[in-house]
Amino acid sequence: MDTILLNDSENDLLKAADLIKNGNVVGLPTETVYGLGADSANENAVRAIFTAKGRPADNPLIVHLADFSDAVKYTTSIPELAYKLAERFCPGPLTMVLPKNDRIPMVTSGGLDTVGIRVPSHPVMHRIIELSGCPIAAPSANISGYPSPTTAEHVMRDMQGRVAAVVNGGQSDFGVESTVISFDSDSSVRILRPGAVTQEMLLEVCDNVVIDPAILHEVEEGATVASPGMKYKHYSPKADIIMVESDFESFKSVVDKAYSDGVYTLVFDGDEANCPYRHMSYGSDSLQQAHLLFQRLRELDELGAKKVYVRAPSPEGIGLAVYNRLIRAAGFEVIRI
Ligand code: TXA
Ligand code: MG
């Protein structure tokens, strides 16, 4: 299959929408990361997403809608709190897990009786959902396990020959995937995956916001998890990632002992001038770190890095999302000093 690259002209968005309507898989830009989209009701198209990514069949896909008011068409009940959250955060980087109805096939939900609903704010994604007239199932557009793509070029690298088209909508704003939440009660939600909609932001609308322990801790094999994505290895470049939680001086003493061919470092902007090692920088605050992390992990692979020592980000605000992705990329290998 030849993968065509489309741009954000109305004509190309119509082509992308037609491809989706006709059962094809298309790489799509969103404000978080790029997704691999197909008609969520078309079982063969959804299966083709799993095949293109090499994704385990029990890991459910998020369904993207043009407006949260459409969620009633695909769910059996929606708590009042979900509407309040939608009013505040939709469109945007929030996914709400709700009980699904029969219009969402089991392949799409990975065999679960729930579905993650998200209303993306990226104008290109929004327009393609409108033009296609179908809810679009879309996981991140990377090969399963690899860092998520934040540019059309990344998607092309991973998906060339595997999908019908990729739409170039520029670099993703946030750079980390949406916040995924479920509802514990009428006034309480649980964060299953941290993102740009932070715990503090959710607390403006909910009485109680629980951070699922699996966000920061490795789940034991065979344990029951609230979200299937928690059990899989994720976000890992080819290089070995080692997270170092310390000040810059201690970081350097760790790297010093291990420094050899193929060893790289990923540091903060302010460290660069005093970093004697092969290095890349991923910004100076949490928002920049989110924006750049996956891109840097891909670039380090291109440089041929075998081992990367990473200065651990602050886990505050959107930083929790960055920390969560990195600790998984590192296979929970963290040096704390
Ligand atoms: O920002 C995003 O969410 C991006 C863009 C493309 O929208 N999508 C994305 O999808 O990150 P994916 O499939 O790579 O990650 C979805 C995560 C997985 O960890 C999955 O297990 C979880 O959300 N998830 C999806 N549906 C769920 C459900 N019904 N119950 C629990 N977890 C769910
Ligand atoms: Mg993903």
Closest ligand to C-alpha of residue 142 is: 2
Q: What is the pTM of this model?
A: 0.98
| C-beta separation of 30 from 118 below 8 A | no
pLDDT at site 222: 83
Class in CATH terms, 4-215: alpha beta
The pLDDT tens digits for 136-177 are: 999 999 999 999 999 999 999 999 999 999 999 999 999 999
What are the tens digits of pLDDT across the range 271-315? 999 999 999 999 999 999 999 999 999 999 999 999 999 999 999
Q: Using the atom order of ligand 1, give the atom closest to the CA of residue 100.
A: 29
CATH 3.40.50.11030 matches 240-336: yes
Ligand 1 atom closest to the CA of 32, numbered from 1: 1
pLDDT attached to residue 36: 98
**Cα(109)–Cα(146) distance, rounded to whole angstroms?**
21
Cβ of 112 below 6 Å from ligand 1:
yes
**CB-side neighbour CA atoms (13 Å) of 307:** 13
List, for residues 190-242, the tens digit of each pLDDT value.
999 999 999 999 999 999 999 999 999 998 888 889 999 888 878 899 999 99
Report the relative pairing of strands 35-39 and 26-28 from DSSP bridges. Answer: antiparallel
In tens, the pLDDT along 95-147 reads: 999 999 999 999 999 999 999 999 999 999 999 999 999 999 999 999 999 99
CB atoms within 10 A of CB 270: 12
Return the pLDDT at 29.
99
Cα separation, 6 vs 26, whole angstroms: 10
Best of 28, 62, 235 for a ligand 1 pocket test (most atoms within 8 Å of beta carbon): 62
**pLDDT, tens digit, 9 for 90 and up, residues 70-95:** 999 999 999 999 999 999 999 999 99
Find the 148 Cα to ligand 2 centroid distance in Å.
Answer: 6
Cβ(94) to ligand 1 under 6 A?
no
* pLDDT, tens digit, 9 for 90 and up, residues 52-62: 999 999 999 99
Cα–Cα separations (whole angstroms), residue 246 to 20, 42, 70: 47, 49, 47
Longest CA–CA span in the chain (Å) reads 58
Ligand 1 nearest atom to the CA of residue 64, by list position: 7
Q: What percent of the chain has pLDDT over 90?
A: 94
Task: Name the token pair of 333.
Answer: 């290998």
Give, for ligand 1, the residue of 46, 50, 65, 95 to mutate: max count of ligand atoms closer than 8 Å to Cβ.
95
β-bridge mates for residue 137, sequence order: 38, 63
Residue 144 Cα to ligand 2 midpoint, Å, equals 7
Residue spans of the domains in the chain: they are: 4-215, 240-336
- For 26, the 3-state DSSP assignment is strand
- pLDDT > 90? residue 67: yes
